[in-house]
Amino acid sequence: MTVGTLIVGGGIAAVRCAERLRRAGDTDPVTIVAAEDGLPYDRPPLSKQALLDSAVDRPVLKSSEALDALGVRLLQARHALRLHRAERRVDLDSGESLSYDDLVIATGSVPRRLPLLDDAAPHYLRTWDDALRLRNALRPASGHVLVVGAGVLGLEIAATSRALGHEVTVVDAAPRVLPRLGGPGLSEIVMALHEQHGVRFALGVTVGSVIPAGDGAATLALSDGTRVDADVVVVAIGAVPATGWLHGSELAGHDGVETDAACRTRDDRIFAIGDVARVERSPGVHERLEHWTSAGDTAAVAARNILARRRDEPPVQLEELPYVWSDQFDGKLQILGTIGPDDDLLPAVDDTESGRWLRLASREGNLVGVVGWNMPAAVNRCRTAIAARAAVTDVVTAAPWERMGRP
Ligand SMILES: Cc1cc2nc3c(=O)[nH]c(=O)nc-3n(C[C@H](O)[C@H](O)[C@H](O)COP(=O)(O)OP(=O)(O)OC[C@H]3O[C@@H](n4cnc5c(N)ncnc54)[C@H](O)[C@@H]3O)c2cc1C
């Protein structure tokens, strides 16, 4: 008997995978098991509009009518507890045990904790409930917000807190902002932008000790000898893949579930997608990306390959370039391609009047990525040149960002 596809997760990757299966003509059962209560929702607005505007509601990805129309069964508020690979079965905390023909692991990631701060009851931001708690804490808007972590999420929270009128200090053990994304050139540009908006930074510094002051407020002693009195403390020091339920399955490694470029794990009936997956992006190189677009890209590949196996067709490979965007203050930062710490960033557009710019990332003279500020069309027009790793001198001559008129 056909039991179809079981997708464990309930975030954007899970929803996109179910949609893609149906779009490709799959008529077998599709079930999503989701740990959170309520309909699947989108996370990017949680650090932006949802904090800024109390009227913003849970950004639902699919209504129950839309899920019904797709023929997708959603089991909410159920945790997958254990995978039995040999029997193709997953145990849930509800006592149910679900069989599958194909399993998709889409359990995402959870915030990395900073136990030193536990007594101060800091905020973490991953779920809608987290966003509601932080939104309440950020009103009224005249306090001091301390953000631990200068990655994309920490900087978004910093920008949003400034926009709400708070004083903001960002602390990070790394010597630069965005330590895991791009190189020092990008860090300098983004840090300067934040400083122009009044954000203060303590970089290359760790939190030494904490004296809680109640209601989420605390005094923090930093390793450089300074003390910060914070009304709200937010920790955004990265995320770890949610793989606890895969214990004993031999699928989860030190940083997620490894797959080939077809999003297949070592078990050909099991796929991994989204934040939890470490996908082979070039031969022998596995990367776990916490990017919204990557969740959709890997979902599409897994859906195609579930059907390819059933139809005895060759698998498709993930070919999309990594892409991440971040809304900070009144602008949109976009990074397309893979930019390493040693890559050169060359200016392509510097429009100081409108505050837009574009940088080309060059590795040994070839284009490996672009970074843009408020230039979505221009970033997109560089896609072909990045995929081809074109010579940067040729790219500068061709100036693909100028096609169709203004950059
Ligand atoms: C606040 C915030 C802002 C962001 N902004 C941006 C942005 O601007 N740009 C960008 O590119 N990316 C952004 N991201 C990242 C992007 O949202 C993620 O890459 C994306 O949500 C990953 O989707 P996913 O489905 O893989 O994982 P998730 O969205 O984490 O979904 C996984 C789901 O699985 C559930 N789950 C976990 N374990 C189990 C289990 N055992 N059983 C059942 N269910 C389980 C979880 O509860 C969760 O609901 C942001 C992330 C956050 C948190």
Percent share of the chain, pLDDT over 90:
91
Asked if 193 and 81 sit in the same domain, the reply is no
Tell me what the pLDDT averaged over the chain comes to: 95
Asked if 147 and 289 sit in the same domain, the reply is no
Q: Is ligand 1 within 6 A of the CB of residue 291?
A: yes
Q: Which of 392, 403, 324 shows the shortest CA–CA distance to 360?
A: 392
Segment 293-308 mean pLDDT: 98
Per the DSSP assignment, residues forming a β-bridge with 207 are 222
Q: Is ligand 1 within 6 A of the CB of residue 246?
A: no
pLDDT of residue 328: 93
CA of 15 to the centre of ligand 1 (A): 11
- The predicted-structure confidence for 149-188, as pLDDT tens digits, reads as follows 999 999 999 999 999 999 999 999 999 999 888 788 889 9
**Residue tagged 């940067």 (tokens):** 392
Residue ending a domain, choose from 235, 270, 291 = 235
Q: Which of 162, 168, 177, 157 shows the shortest CA–CA distance to 200?
A: 168
Residue ending a domain, choose from 219, 235, 251 = 235
- Indicate the pLDDT class of residue 402, thresholds 50, 70 and 90: confident
Whole-angstrom distance, CA of residue 305 vs CA of residue 310: 8
Segment 104-133 mean pLDDT: 97
What domain count does the chain have?
3
User: Is residue 397 one of the residues assigned to a domain?
Assistant: yes
First-last CA distance in the chain: 56
Asked if 12 and 105 sit in the same domain, the reply is yes
State yes or no: pLDDT of 276 exceeds 50: yes
pLDDT of residue 141: 73
Q: Please state, as a whole number, how many other Cβ atoms lie within 10 Å of the Cβ of residue 382.
A: 25
State yes or no: pLDDT of 197 exceeds 90: yes
Asked if 49 and 194 sit in the same domain, the reply is no
User: Is residue 77 one of the residues assigned to a domain?
Assistant: yes
Q: Are the beta carbons of 249 and 276 closer than 8 angstroms?
A: no
Asked if 202 and 136 sit in the same domain, the reply is yes
CA of 10 to the centre of ligand 1 (A): 9
Which range marks the domain in which residue 45 is found? Answer: 5-110+239-310
Q: Which of 299, 337, 335 shows the shortest CA–CA distance to 318?
A: 299
Whole-angstrom distance, CA of residue 48 vs CA of residue 46: 6
User: Is residue 318 one of the residues assigned to a domain?
Assistant: no
Asked if 94 and 243 sit in the same domain, the reply is yes
User: Is residue 354 one of the residues assigned to a domain?
Assistant: yes
Residue ending a domain, choose from 201, 235, 269 = 235
Percent share of the chain, pLDDT over 70:
99
State yes or no: pLDDT of 193 exceeds 80: yes
Q: Are the beta carbons of 349 and 378 closer than 8 angstroms?
A: yes
User: Is residue 317 one of the residues assigned to a domain?
Assistant: no
Q: Is ligand 1 within 6 A of the CB of residue 334?
A: no
- Indicate the pLDDT class of residue 407, thresholds 50, 70 and 90: very low
User: Is residue 220 one of the residues assigned to a domain?
Assistant: yes
Per the DSSP assignment, residues forming a β-bridge with 366 are 363, 391
pLDDT of residue 240: 97
Asked if 81 and 124 sit in the same domain, the reply is no
pLDDT of residue 101: 98
User: Is residue 380 one of the residues assigned to a domain?
Assistant: yes
Q: Is ligand 1 within 6 A of the CB of residue 153?
A: yes
Q: Are the beta carbons of 71 and 64 closer than 8 angstroms?
A: no
CATH number at residue 346: 3.30.390.30
Asked if 252 and 223 sit in the same domain, the reply is no
CA of 308 to the centre of ligand 1 (A): 27
Whole-angstrom distance, CA of residue 385 vs CA of residue 392: 9
Asked if 120 and 92 sit in the same domain, the reply is no
Asked if 258 and 210 sit in the same domain, the reply is no
Asked if 49 and 195 sit in the same domain, the reply is no
Q: Which of 390, 339, 387, 346 shows the shortest CA–CA distance to 366?
A: 390
CA of 301 to the centre of ligand 1 (A): 18
CA of 278 to the centre of ligand 1 (A): 15
Alpha carbon separation from 402 to 141, 324, 333, 355, 373 (Å, rounded): 42, 22, 19, 17, 15
Q: Are the beta carbons of 277 and 294 closer than 8 angstroms?
A: no
Higher pLDDT, 29 or 141: 29
State yes or no: pLDDT of 404 exceeds 90: no
User: Is residue 383 one of the residues assigned to a domain?
Assistant: yes
Three-state DSSP state, 103? strand
Asked if 91 and 179 sit in the same domain, the reply is no
CATH number at residue 270: 3.50.50.60
Whole-angstrom distance, CA of residue 78 vs CA of residue 35: 5
Segment 384-393 mean pLDDT: 96
Per the DSSP assignment, residues forming a β-bridge with 325 are 334
